Amino acid sequence: MASHKLGRNTEDIKRELTAVLRELKDPRVANIMLSVVRVDVSRDLSYCKVYVSAMEGLDAANTAVKALKSAAGYIRREVGSRLSLRHVPAMTFEATDSIEYSANISHILSELNIKDGEEDGEDDGSE
């Protein structure tokens, strides 16, 4: 039963973190399209590791992580005021390139679809 509660708390924290990140006024974060990719919360809800990715790439995500680390106390307070948790976890932020990676995969797949479509079109036109 505890795993359901942990999963629900993890999703709540991720949702509120996303909302708080949109409201941050730090130019290192405000000018970047950030996404909270994954949130890992410890079983006792004392620690939380937040994986953040940026559309602009890993360098932009690393810059945003520096800003988020400096604003970690503010972010923790905001999440705590929005959620009714007995203990708000201490947050650490990690940069990932998952958005850039998935955009690259999507681009490759769309190129394959275009090439397959051209070949299909040539076959239909030759008959």
More confident residue, 48 or 103: 48
**pLDDT of amino acid 127:** 47
**pLDDT of amino acid 2:** 59
Nearest CA-CA partner of 91 in 25, 10, 35, 4: 10
**Per-domain residue ranges of the chain:** 2-96, 98-127
Per-residue b/e over 90-127, b at no fewer than 16 CB within 10 Å?
Answer: ebebbbbbbbbeeeeeeeeeeeeeeeeeeeeeeeeeee
* Local structure of residue 24 (DSSP, 8 states): -
Considering the segment(s) 2-96 as one domain, its CATH architecture is: 2-Layer Sandwich (3.30)
**pLDDT of amino acid 73:** 92
Kindly report, residue by residue over 56-112, the tens digit of the pLDDT. Answer: 888 989 999 999 999 999 999 999 999 988 888 999 999 998 877 888 888 888 888
pTM: 0.76
